[in-house]
Structure 1
Amino acid sequence: MMRKFELALEAVLFQSRWLLAPFYLGLAAALVLLLVHFVIEFGHFAGLVLHADRNAIVLGILGLIDIAFMGNLVLIVIFSGYENFVSRIEMSGHDRPEWMAKVDFGGLKQKLMTSIVAISAVEVLKAFMNIEQYDPVRLGWLVGIHGVFLASLLAVVIADRLGDGTKPPGEKSEARGGNAKA
């Protein structure tokens, strides 16, 4: 009787991973909204480019890069999160990005932090390109926050490397190259 209860409970818990699927569908919809925002920003930028100075062009391009980085971040969360926590994506006959099967939970954290650092770096660069519109306190906050993101990325990388040192040798390569579920 107790064993049947245990098996039923484990089945419910195992199937509960599908509760995450709507989150990833919502993120896919957010990616569509981000694309709409990108198209609007691109149209705005394209309309100004003929009369803009060099700094305005660089700032416009950096703005587009910033949106593209955000899209990359959302896509990484969708693919890696779904594959690590819900189910393997099986799309035969489609061009599957090579990194999809190789990103375990530690790799996902590193990719997320790397994307956040890149987005932050673009924001800092945009501020320096437009430095006359920033007061020193706000600029200091931007640089300080970027430094915190960078330090966080380094902490995640170091923690993952140290954690790999505690695993048996065969398990390290499997977690790096496989689809380790967390």
Structure 2
Amino acid sequence: MTPARLIEAVLYAGRWLIVPVYVAMLGLLGTLVWFFLVELWHSLPDIPGMTENGLIMLALTLIDLSLTANLVMLVILAGYENFVRRGDFGDDSRPGWLGKVDFAGLKLKLLGAITVIAAVDLLRSFLDIANQTDRDLLWQVVIVAVFGLLALLFALTDWIADLAHPPARE
């Protein structure tokens, strides 16, 4: 084996170094599920006496945790499939989107999810506007706008790149 081939083999095998990161992210996913369940459990006795605003705040909190959990799962599965190896999940249990999300698609989905999570948090702040400062609200609006603009710019650059290099027809 030539030195170049040896280096290439070591570099290629190095992709397995990221697997512990994905496994640790499963712990993060479990923590998010735990927070979701605890939030729901603590809120159940209060639901009959909740105001409409309180119920919407609870729903937004649970949606926020759910979206974040989905984001973590997306990163785990798509990252593993894109950077380590194709997962063998069985034909019936394999999500339809898995294998179709390349790096460009993953970054767009990440930016989209982060934008939606920030927007949900902004909506929650507007519903609790009495306890928010103008400065905090302004920064939340700026963050949502910047992430939305970044997602749009990434989508535009991917679209332009696809026009410049159309996929081969089968």
In structure 2, what is the equivalent of residue 123 of structure 1? 121
In structure 2, what is the equivalent of residue 102 of structure 1? 100
In structure 2, what is the equivalent of residue 15 of structure 1? 13
Gaps of 5+ in 1: 175-182
Q: CA deviation at 1:131?
A: 1.1
Q: How many angstroms apart in 2 are the aligned matches of 1:26 and 1:13?
A: 22
Q: CA deviation at 1:22?
A: 0.5
Cα deviation code 1:120-139 (max 9, x no counterpart): 11011101111111121111
Gaps of 5+ in 2: none
2:26 to 10, 25, 28: 28
Identity %: 36
1:71 equivalent in alignment to 2:83: no
- Larger relative contact order, structure 1 or 2 (CA cutoff 8 Å, min sep 6): 1
Q: How many angstroms apart in 1 are the aligned matches of 2:149 and 2:45?
A: 39
* Structure 1 letter corresponding to 2:116: A
In structure 2, what is the equivalent of residue 157 of structure 1? 155
Q: How many angstroms apart in 2 are the aligned matches of 1:73 and 1:91?
A: 19
Cα deviation code 1:149-181 (max 9, x no counterpart): 1111111111111111221441xx79xxxxxxx
In structure 2, what is the equivalent of residue 145 of structure 1? 143
* TM, length-normalised to structure 1: 0.89
Q: How many angstroms apart in 1 are the aligned matches of 2:134 and 2:11?
A: 52
- Count of aligned pairs between the two proteins: 170
In structure 2, what is the equivalent of residue 135 of structure 1? 133
Q: How many angstroms apart in 2 are the aligned matches of 1:122 and 1:168?
A: 36
1:51 equivalent in alignment to 2:57: no
1:81 to 79, 87, 94: 79
Please report the RMSD computed on the Cα atoms of aligned residues, expressed in angstroms: 1.4
* Structure 2 letter corresponding to 1:89: G
* Structure 2 letter corresponding to 1:105: F
* Structure 1 letter corresponding to 2:50: A
Q: CA deviation at 1:94?
A: 4.0
* Structure 1 letter corresponding to 2:144: H
In structure 2, what is the equivalent of residue 179 of structure 1? none
Q: Report runs of 4+ in structure 1 exceeding 6 Å deviation.
A: none
